[in-house]
Homo-oligomer: A and B are copies of this chain.
Amino acid sequence: MAAALCCGLLDYKTEKFALTRNRRVGLLHRLLQLAVLGYLLGWVLVVRRGYQDTDAAPHVSVITKMKGVSVTWSKDASSRLWDAVDYASPPQGENVLFLVTNFIATAKQAQGTCPESPSVLDGMCTEDVDCPVGNPVVHGNGIKTGKCVMFNATHSTCEIYGWCPVENNTLPRKPLLAEAENFTLFIKNTVNFTKFNFSKGNALQTNDSTYFKSCTYDPFFNPSCPVFRIGDMVEAAGETFQDLALLGGSISIRIEWNCDLDQPTAWCQPQYSFILVDRRYNFRTASYYWDSQRRPYRSLMKLYGIRFDISVHGQAGKFGIIPAAVSFGTGIAFFGAVSAKYALFL
Contact = CB atoms under 8 A, between A and B. Distances in A.
A287 interface: yes
Interface in A282-305: 283-290, 296, 298, 300
Number of identical protomers: 3
Interface in A96-128: 96, 98, 111, 121
Contact of A285 (B85, B277, B338): B85
A209 B21 CA distance: 72
Contact of A143 (B71, B94, B286, B330): B71
Contacts of A93: 283
A68 interface: yes
Residue of A163, A296, A336 with highest tally of chain B CB at under 10 A = A336
A226 interface: no
A216 B168 CA distance: 27
Nearest to A330: B334
Given A36-B329, A94-B96, A142-B81, A339 B344 contact: yes
A207 interface: no
A112 B142 CA distance: 38
Interface stretch (A10-18, A55-63, A238-246): A55-63
Interface string A76-90: 000111011110011
A121 B343 contact: no
A28 B259 CA distance: 38
A205 interface: no
Contacts of A65: 283
A260 interface: no
A277 B63 CA distance: 10
A235 to B, nearest CB: 19
A137 interface: yes
A111 to B, nearest CB: 6
A212 to B, nearest CB: 9
Given A86-B286, A309-B61, A334-B337, A92 B81 contact: no
A71 B288 CA distance: 18
A63 to B, nearest CB: 6
Given A121-B210, A188-B278, A340-B344, 10 more contacts: A39-B325, A59-B275, A69-B136, A69-B141, A71-B143, A81-B163, A85-B286, A90-B92, A91-B285, A340-B340
